[in-house]
Amino acid sequence: MDEHTNDALTKTGPGTLMGNLFRSFWLPVLLESELAIPGCPPVQVRLLGEDLVAFWEPGGEMGLIDALCAHRSAPLFLGRCEEGGLRCIYHGWKFAANGQCIDQPNEPPDSRFKEHVRLRAYPLARRGGVIWTYMGPDAVPPPLPDFDWALVPESHRFIAKYIVDANYLQNMEGDIDSSHGSFLHSALGSDVIEGAHLNRKGYKYEKYLMKSGNPKFFCKDTNTGVLIGARRPAEDDSWYWRITQWLLPAFSLIPEEPHHAIICNMRIPIDDEHNVFFRIRWHPERPLSEFELYQCREGGVLFSETEPGTFRLKANKQNDYLIDRTVQNLYTYSGIKSIPAQDVAVQGAMPIIDRTREHLGSSDLGIVTVRKRLLAAATALRDHGSISAPSLSGEFRVFPVATVLKREMEFSEGADESLHGRDLSLVSKNPDS
């Protein structure tokens, strides 16, 4: 990859190719618990290189507006959340959720100056335990994406949020790289895999993952992203398939065996060198079990421990990700406890990876395909002013799967019911190419 292409894929600030693409979608920005009730304290937000503040005024309107007051650039995070808006504590200027200045108590009572003052503002919406924002130019935003995890009852899901010190792309590319699971996330013996390390009893197919570290990849463009199939040998008449659903602009559904809880990773740029990572585990049909919730909250493997009162990983670059060399020598491939920390450890050597130094192989087909899809969508948006994917909310309700299929079956057809169970036409030619 040349430097220009790397810049095009990784730069997400205002006016950039990829920044404009992200701004055409609803993006997760906060956990619902961070802006819990009307009148609660405001929350500082940095997203796509913009400094903002989120608030929920007592009257019920939520807003995401410029972080600094339009008067003398005082921080609105320190402001008073009042009926109708957020009031700056410096001179009392008050701003509604749409960014309009609605009060200037230090101006004459008959002044109409406030009518001409407006901050940048973006709409907020609550769905599925997450607060979403739309930062695009359309006066009427597209519909919210119908992710299955966002539509199930609260008891069916668990959501974590992490702040990661790296460009979104290098973390997201780990989510769609099925070959690294045979190494980075593996144990050194089946006694550990089947035992207490992750309590993976009841999983029929993981033995195939550990037996083959060089899967063959197959990719299909869909209306909303890319379907990535990684094929490994199973029995003489069958293949083991790990099928990832990657959805524009940075959502990844991680393969899981049927009937088990599923993982969704969302990597949203804070700026070019940081991203906010939402990790969701959910079950489409039932509440998460007590043990599944324990794995999420306390287990420290599927989800990472964080520094108290923050969204930052307890295992981080400053402490060498708490790598345990004894565990690495005897039990696990990495010696790092949690899967998210394992990923961050190998993906965060630089804030933005220099992809001109890469030597990609056959196992990188999914990564190459997704990069092309991102660039194609962003270029189509630039050249034509819009793309179809953001409006296709129902087509985000798809599923990943890890399964075994007969060798003569085409992977997307053989796994059709597990992938979406609705309409095979969802796996179609990229409409924006």
Question: Mean pLDDT in runs of 10 for the chain (433 residues)?
Answer: 96 98 98 98 98 97 98 98 98 98 97 98 98 96 97 97 98 94 83 43 76 90 96 93 96 92 97 98 94 93 95 96 96 94 95 96 96 98 96 95 93 84 38 41
- Which architecture does CATH list for 26-134? 3-layer Sandwich (2.102)
Residue ranges matching CATH 2.102.10.10 in the chain:
26-134
What are the angstrom distances between the C-alpha of 226 and each of 121, 132, 237?
32, 23, 27
Residue ranges matching CATH 3.90.380.10 in the chain:
148-426
Integer Cα distance of 280 and 151 in angstroms: 13
Integer Cα distance of 424 and 223 in angstroms: 11
The candidate with the shortest Cα–Cα distance to 280, out of 128, 419, 401, 157, is 157
Integer Cα distance of 233 and 248 in angstroms: 30
DSSP 299: I
Residue 200's pLDDT is what? 57
**pTM of the complete model:** 0.93
- Which architecture does CATH list for 148-426? Alpha-Beta Complex (3.90)
Residue 202's pLDDT is what? 67
